[in-house]
Chain A
Amino acid sequence: MQFLSNLIGGVSLGSVYALIALGYTMVYGIARMLNFAHGDVIMVGAYVVFFAFCSGGMNPLLAILIAMAVCTLLGVTIERIAYRPLREAPSLAVLITAIGVSYLLQNGALLLWSANPRAFTSVVSIPPISLFGGRLTIPGNTLVNVVVCLVIMVGLWLFVNRTTPGHAMQAVSEDRGAAQLMGINVNATISLTFAIGSALAAVAGALLCSSYPMLQPTTGAMPGIKAFTAAVFGGIGSIPGALLGGILLGVIENLSKAYISTQISDAIVFLVLIVILLIKPTGLLGKKRVVKV
């Protein structure tokens, strides 16, 4: 029973990682850049929901919609100002710029909203499910996280594979130059990718803080790194991979805490990650790129 309970805890944590990882993988898959500021966009999204819903008393869905709008605007602006000029530059240059953006968002939030932590009220009002006569509890948040994750994953997959803008994204991802020659507006496509990724960040922020209510300017940093790990774990660029990687990472983390050691749980998680990557060098569902000379 305790094992099941730990497993559920792991799925709950993993679903939050997966939500964030979906945004990472989306941007990476199309724009070929590691957007290290993604975790901090999540933090901004959570703050917007906090002010609209937790202290403003707005309808939670409306609050999340507003946060999605704000994050979309933020993401597209960041892309326009900080990333687009570096489109032809080496990919590491964009990575460092993304880190600069991450610092900027964290310190901006610190000045704007102060370092004092805020307690987030859960946007989920589903009661927990009690099984086996109360010996096993599944929190409502966990259920919502998993369902939202699945919905977003399927939605993204359909969007990328079944719509025209989605095909354009795939083309840009495959070969930017050729896509341009085919008449695809590369800049607009990448902007759209950032818009979607950032809107997802707002949802992830709301659900992250609903499960774990402490909201601070640094809230996005740690889950951001873990989600990045999860995205790579699942095979970066692969949408189902992000979901799988996120959930697995959460489960491994929780089980190693429960059965090995809480003091070195992070070390164990990362060790497992290294071992798996050595066995499957492109992640669980990643595609092997064939390099031609």
Chain B
Amino acid sequence: MKKYLSLALAAAMAFSLAACGATGTSAPAGNAADSTPAASTPADAAPAEGGEAGAATGTLNVGGIGPLTGGVAVYGLATMQGAEIAVEEINALGGLQFELDFKDDTGVAETAVNAYNTLKDSADVIYGTTTTDPCINVAAETFNDRFFQLTPSASSTAVTEGRDNVFQMCFTDPNQGASAADYVKDNNLGESIGIIYNNADAYSTGLRDAFVARAAEIGLNVVEEQAFPDDNTPDFSAQLNALAAANVDLLFMPIYYTPAYNIVNQAQAQGFAPKYFGCDGMDGILDIEGMNPDLVEGLMLMTPFNASATDAATTSFVEKYQAAYDGLPNQFAADGYDAMWALYYAANAAGIDADNMSHEDICEALIATFTSGDFSVDGLTGSGMTWSAKGEISKDPVAVRIENGVYVTM
């Protein structure tokens, strides 16, 4: 009951903020209209339409897909919940309405295709999927059926490769792995670098491959690599022993925060204390209920999103998220939130008439807008985000360091 009440309050707040935003589109940046992304962005997002928000009409049916059950449910739920917050805000604006129908794929390709087939009779655009392998399969379907697809978090290049209709809200793996290597080199973070990665996970191996390739190019000294076969593997003592024996002083961890927490915990028990460097999958490590902040003190990561940032857009999102779902949002949720707003701005810029246009027409119109070159979105995970014709996003990774239990931008 409390949840619904707070949800209603959040909605009301969103409405009041957004209403002020909608009327303030022509106002200069930096005034009250800046308090949510809804307020500031229509002006930037739809320059082609002369900054007029609300050019799109009708109800856009967004078919969402991601794991709500099974071993990777935590990521799917986050992408769904982040999107739900945005949908609530968008619908409160009046104008174009979003209807998000989110289906469970349990993280399995076959189930994701089933979910897509269930959605395709009613959806106008596809949002998802959360994880890479299901996303590749759904992307092949949407490409044939001509649905516009935006994934919040499937970061492999195999997702968008050769498909003009698929766009990513997250960094690609090669892009992120290479910039991580560059960052380590430029800031002289480590002399002998170790890597630990999940060799059964496409995301983790993708980042590792890109990091290693770039490290060789720019002369980073990678002394030891260790792998593990499953995020549910609890024990890392052998890997940590090997890394310690190689005198690793910086450990690159292109993995999710759940195994990462087990690793830092065990490293401490074994008396091994390198500097840690993670990627966007590491975001969320501070939000684990009951976690010990001392273990991750000094840990560095590249993340597009910082839940403890104090800008108005982030605080508003975090408040609403906490009220609705208990717990802090991570970058999956933030990418989901931004994905919905990106869709909204693009739909407005393209003047989508959601009730009367076919999904094929919506797809072509949105592709044209996303790749037009002057379409950019300001969101929680970056400002001035643009997309290439390949569907890959361009946004600046931000490196942060954990100090006293919060992110500090480096």
Contact = CB atoms under 8 A, between A and B. Distances in A.
Contact of A137 (B69, B262, B269, B288): B269
Contacts of B265: 212-213
B269 A141 contact: yes
A116 interface: yes
B261 interface: yes
A134 interface: yes
B74 interface: yes
Nearest to A256: B238
B73 A54 contact: no
Given A137-B269, A214-B259, A258-B242, A119 B290 contact: yes
B234 A212 contact: yes
Given A115-B74, A214-B234, A263-B227, 6 more contacts: A5-B270, A55-B289, A110-B73, A115-B77, A214-B258, A266-B229
A242 interface: no
Contacts of A141: 269
Contacts of A219: 232
B221 interface: no
Interface residues of B, number: 40
Contacts of B292: 119, 121
A12 B227 contact: no
What are the nearest 5 A-B pairs in CB distance?
A: A9-B237, A212-B234, A257-B238, A119-B291, A115-B73
A218 interface: yes
20 contacts: A2-B241, A6-B237, A10-B237, A12-B235, A13-B237, A110-B73, A114-B326, A115-B73, A118-B290, A119-B261, A137-B271, A139-B270, A208-B234, A211-B234, A214-B234, A214-B262, A221-B232, A222-B230, A223-B234, A266-B229
Interface in B227-269: 227-230, 232-235, 237-239, 241-242, 245, 257-259, 261-262, 265-266, 269
A257 B234 contact: no
B223 to A, nearest CB: 15
A110 B234 contact: no
A216 B291 CA distance: 13
Contacts of A6: 237-238, 241
Interface of B: 69-71, 73-74, 77, 199, 226-230, 232-235, 237-239, 241-242, 245, 257-259, 261-262, 265-266, 269-271, 287-292, 326-327
Contacts of B288: 116-119, 214
Contacts of A213: 261-262, 265
Interface residues of A, number: 50
A283 to B, nearest CB: 23
Interface in A47-63: 50, 54-55
B232 A116 contact: no
A128 B74 CA distance: 33
Interface of A: 2, 5-6, 8-10, 12-13, 16, 50, 54-55, 107, 110, 114-121, 128, 134, 137, 139, 141, 208, 211-214, 216-219, 221-223, 250, 253-255, 257-258, 262-266
B235 A139 contact: no
B82 to A, nearest CB: 14
A216 B258 contact: yes
Nearest to B74: A115
Contacts of B327: 114, 116
Contact of A262 (B77, B228, B245, B262): B228
Contacts of A266: 229-230
A83 B68 CA distance: 29
Nearest to B265: A213
A139 B267 CA distance: 11
A94 B71 CA distance: 25
B380 to A, nearest CB: 19
Contacts of A216: 71, 74, 258
A157 B287 CA distance: 44
A13 B270 CA distance: 14
A262 B233 CA distance: 12
Contact of A218 (B77, B226, B232, B261): B232
Given A117-B288, A214-B258, A254 B228 contact: no
B69 A107 contact: yes
